[in-house]
Amino acid sequence: MTQRRPVSLSFFTASLAAGLLVAQPAAAQDFFDWLDGSPPKKKQEETFKGEVPEAVQRDSLPELSPPPDAVAPEPVARSRPSGPDASGEPVPRGPDGEADDDGGGGAADAVPQDSQFDPLEARRRRVQGATPATAPAAAPAKPTWQNPDDVPPRGNGGERYAPGSFEDEQQAMPAKPARGRDRNQYDGGPIERRPGGAARQQAPQPHYPDDGPPRDGPRQGVNDQPRYAPQDNAPSRVERGNLDGPQSAAGELPDPWRGLPVAELEENLSKIDLPPRSPAIHGLWLRLITARASSPDPKLAAIRADALNRTGMIREASEALAGAGDVSADPVIATLAARTAIGAGHSEQGCETARSLTSAVAAKMPAHMKGEVILIAGFCAAVSDNKPAAGIAADLAIENGLQDHAGPAALKAIAAGHKPAVERGKKVSLLDYRILQLGGPVDLSYAMPTASPALLAVIARDERADPRTRLAAAEAAAGLNAITIDELAAAYRANADPRHQVELSDAVADAGQPARRAALFVAAETERTPLKKSRVIRAFLDEARRANFYWPALQLMAGPANDLQPIPEVGWFAETAVEASLAGGNFEGVHRWADFAASLDREGRADLRHWLALADIAEPNARDRTQHLVVIEELAQRGRFDAALLHRLATVLDALDTNVPMPLWEAASRTEQPSNGHLPDTGVLSQLQDAAKQRDYARTVLLTMRTIGPNGAEGAHMIALGDSIRALKRAGLESEARRLALEALFPAWPHATNS
């Protein structure tokens, strides 16, 4: 060790040396070397490496190629160091004398003419002993694929490269702690195509991992602006074309059947009750089942036709089979085609198709279709007045599993020469109904509870049907989502007696009958006096509640309730108007009537703000979804929310990524979570989450229907409800997810104390 020369230090110098020795040992060593007169050690390369961010250091960058449509610029010749390689070409040398074989780090590399002068690269070359590149005379025009921040990204040797490392940097980011087992996919803002072919995000959002953004805002250290704009040919999740949901710009659903095996579709449909009882899920189902396949597939067409039949859409089922080609080649397709034609009222066409369905063919059919094949043959025998054959077919149909249907018994009656009648408790399908019609007019007044949705829909749309039967069928079909609300309204208008005097008292002769509800509906639409109009609307809703179709009735009354002006004489009607507005999706009306009620009742006895909290959950574009939850906290502390509703509310809020207030969590945690409700088969929930992540519309809808179950959102298990809402939101169907949440909470939502 070198002997240090004695130096007389002042008090200031000694203090400085001591401070450097503690805080910066390396700097202290340089200071002592200076005192000794020794030259400081050279650390140019270490200093340089410390100044350059790691993201642009040469050894840390991946090899990336320029975009395929970029034109290679003419190289500018430079002098190379001497020293040929084996091929006779000069080899660039690094500062240590070794050959620089990285393909772009030497000083003699060709520099693209459109590249900009890089002072950092020049300094690095100078430190390494290379000749620095000279700056061009004029800055060239920026290429269209340059990054949004106008900062030229650099690869090996300073050349521009195609953006693509942004995804790699994100994958290298530390994962955000999960706040739940599933979160919605978060893909950022929409894409705008630039003239040069590059895609650039408008109003981009922070790009988080698959579990979505945190509830408390973006993480610290995550830039709001992506560093590089994705190229057209770069694999990027934002280029999938389905950020705005499953519909295209024209409002049509792209082919959802592509990539869905027919066997998987059959399995899902065999475990689903059709039509779905949830109005929100039913809307998704209609968009799926009515979407056309891009390539004709007879088996897919038959499956779709069967599902449309079960949904009550007979005309659409006929259209689906029309594109299936020759249906006689496949006995299953032929059976479905014959049943559809007979159900639509085309007996001759159905029986012509059924001629290929012999007894030998029926023996090879699936077990659940053998009875239908035999019953179709018996119907055709009865049409041709072959009574012995009809009687034999009736006995065979009973032996093949149709003993609980009304059709075989009707065939027996026709074969014996009697008028068929519906036995109480027997199921009545559309095919059974056509057999019953062979004996004359059919009275189904007491068979509505056991009638199939397809039969109810056909009768509700039949303008020649008996008015009472048609009204009863229309109400039952609307309660099962077999017909739309507009079709129920049309049945009411067509069968309401214009001479009928509407009496608001419940003590009338036709109280509880469909004819009375039809008259009340027409009166609610035509009445102009505010007080009487509000009383008619309330009477209609009370009747509908007793008839078990309160939600469709609320949707019907959304229009008449919106026509009313909030005036003091109808102040009692405010909560009813709020309910109707919620059912009809009129969130502005919800706020209008709630504010009106608050202006009338200064003491808070008719506080309707808890309905605003429900509207905040259901409204897709609500600005603040938590401002009215404080009202829910107050009601929960007063015991107005039962334990099951509190658990359901917390589940819904968590599934929609809404912060659940701590008082609500505490109130719900005091009781055990309800364990009742429908739960799907094992594995369905995980399949649902996978389909939602991939934004597979068909699988997401089918698996959500299996998860929710036969009784809609109200009858689903807490876990099934939360996973269904979360999956729909992640798949880009947030409006439907919020509608499903509304359906789950509305039936048990408390009313004002003085309503």
Give yes or no for residue 225 having a pLDDT over 80. no
Token look-up 């195509």 returns: 193
Give yes or no for residue 94 having a pLDDT over 90. no
Handedness of CA 544, 279, 618, 650 (dihedral sign): positive
pLDDT at 272: 94
Task: Return the number of other C-beta atoms located less than 10 Å from residue 152's C-beta.
Answer: 16
Residues 541 and 681 in one domain: no
Segment holding 191, helix H or strand E: strand 191-193
Handedness of CA 692, 695, 696, 700 (dihedral sign): positive
- Buried b / exposed e across 524-553, counting CB within 10 Å, b at 16+? bbebeebeebbbbbbbbbbbbeebebbbbb
Residues 547 and 579 in one domain: yes
Q: What confidence category does residue 297 fall into, taking pLDDT thresholds of 50, 70 and 90?
A: confident
Q: What confidence category does residue 156 fall into, taking pLDDT thresholds of 50, 70 and 90?
A: very low
Is the separation of the CB atoms in 725 and 719 below 8 Å? no
Residue 588 lies in a domain: yes
Residues 6+ positions from 468 with CB-CB distance below 8 Å: 445, 514, 515
Is the separation of the CB atoms in 91 and 83 below 8 Å? yes
β-pairing verdict for 199-201 and 111-112: unpaired
Residues 6+ positions from 404 with CB-CB distance below 8 Å: 426, 427
Give yes or no for residue 448 having a pLDDT over 50. yes
Q: Which residue in 101, 92, 158, 104 sits closest to 129, CA to CA?
A: 92
The pLDDT of 596-618, averaged and rounded, is 85
| Mean pLDDT of the chain, nearest integer | 74
Q: Residue 104, Cα to own-chain centre: how many angstroms?
A: 48
Q: What confidence category does residue 538 fall into, taking pLDDT thresholds of 50, 70 and 90?
A: very high
Residue 480 lies in a domain: no
Residue 431 lies in a domain: yes
Q: Which residues partner with 678 through β-bridges?
A: 716
Alpha-carbon span 131 to 141, nearest angstrom? 26
Give yes or no for residue 277 having a pLDDT over 90. yes
Provide the residue range defining the domain that includes 284: 276-461
Residue 742 lies in a domain: yes
Residues 682 and 593 in one domain: no
**Structural domain count, the chain:** 3
Q: What confidence category does residue 15 fall into, taking pLDDT thresholds of 50, 70 and 90?
A: low
pLDDT at 483: 95
Q: What confidence category does residue 23 fall into, taking pLDDT thresholds of 50, 70 and 90?
A: low
Residue 243 lies in a domain: no
Cβ-in-10-Å burial (0-12, 13-18, 19+) of 293 comes to middle
Q: Which amino acid is present at 535? A: R
More confident residue, 253 or 350: 350
pLDDT at 36: 57
The pLDDT of 683-688, averaged and rounded, is 96
pLDDT digits (tens, 9 = 90+) for 376-432: 999 999 999 999 999 999 999 999 999 999 999 999 999 999 999 888 889 999 999
Residue 583 lies in a domain: yes
Residues 6+ positions from 93 with CB-CB distance below 8 Å: 81, 83, 99, 100, 106
Residues 6+ positions from 321 with CB-CB distance below 8 Å: 301, 302, 305, 327, 333, 336, 337, 340
Alpha-carbon span 520 to 536, nearest angstrom? 6
Is the separation of the CB atoms in 247 and 253 below 8 Å? yes
Alpha-carbon span 206 to 227, nearest angstrom? 11
Domain boundary pick from 602, 636, 657: 602
pLDDT at 90: 47
Residues 554 and 653 in one domain: no
Residues 596 and 611 in one domain: no
Domain boundary pick from 461, 479, 504: 461
Q: What confidence category does residue 111 fall into, taking pLDDT thresholds of 50, 70 and 90?
A: very low
Share of the chain above pLDDT 70, in %: 63
Give yes or no for residue 507 having a pLDDT over 90. no
Residues 6+ positions from 330 with CB-CB distance below 8 Å: 298, 299, 302
Residues 6+ positions from 83 with CB-CB distance below 8 Å: 90, 91, 93
Token look-up 């000279």 returns: 134
- Buried b / exposed e across 712-747, counting CB within 10 Å, b at 16+? bbbbbbbbbbbbbbbbbbbbbbbbbbbbbbbbbbbe
Is the separation of the CB atoms in 520 and 539 below 8 Å? yes
Q: What confidence category does residue 753 fall into, taking pLDDT thresholds of 50, 70 and 90?
A: low
Q: Residue 648, Cα to own-chain centre: how many angstroms?
A: 20
Cβ-in-10-Å burial (0-12, 13-18, 19+) of 175 comes to exposed
Residues 434 and 525 in one domain: no
Alpha-carbon span 643 to 649, nearest angstrom? 10
Among 74-88, 107-121, 161-175, whose mean pLDDT is lowest?
161-175
pLDDT at 528: 92
The pLDDT of 475-492, averaged and rounded, is 95
Length reported for the chain: 755
pLDDT at 504: 63
Which range among 23-37, 196-210, 572-586, 652-666 has the greatest average pLDDT? 572-586
Domain boundary pick from 461, 486, 520: 461
Residue 565 lies in a domain: yes
Alpha-carbon span 742 to 713, nearest angstrom? 9
Alpha-carbon span 631 to 640, nearest angstrom? 11
Residues 436 and 572 in one domain: no
Give yes or no for residue 149 having a pLDDT over 90. no
pLDDT at 639: 86
Residues 428 and 304 in one domain: yes
Residues 285 and 350 in one domain: yes
Q: What separation, in Å, do the N-terminal and C-terminal C-alpha atoms of the chain show? A: 97
Answer whether the bond into residue 298 is a cis peptide, omega within 30°.
Answer: no
Q: What confidence category does residue 236 fall into, taking pLDDT thresholds of 50, 70 and 90?
A: very low
Model's pTM, two decimal places?
0.67
Alpha-carbon span 575 to 94, nearest angstrom? 83
pLDDT at 158: 39
Residues 591 and 662 in one domain: no
Tokens matching residue 553: 């009735």
Q: What torsion do the CA atoms of 281, 286, 288, 294 make, to the nearest 10 degrees? A: -170
Residue 168 lies in a domain: no
Among 255-264, 330-339, 356-365, whose mean pLDDT is lowest?
356-365
Residues 571 and 640 in one domain: no
Q: Which residues partner with 99 through β-bridges?
A: 93
pLDDT at 121: 58
Give yes or no for residue 247 having a pLDDT over 60. no
CA angle 13, 16, 18 (to 5 degrees): 110
More confident residue, 204 or 347: 347
- Phi, psi of 93, rounded to the nearest 5 degrees: -115, 140
Q: Which amino acid is present at 631? A: V
pLDDT at 292: 83
Is the separation of the CB atoms in 108 and 78 below 8 Å? yes
pLDDT at 605: 58
Residues 431 and 517 in one domain: no
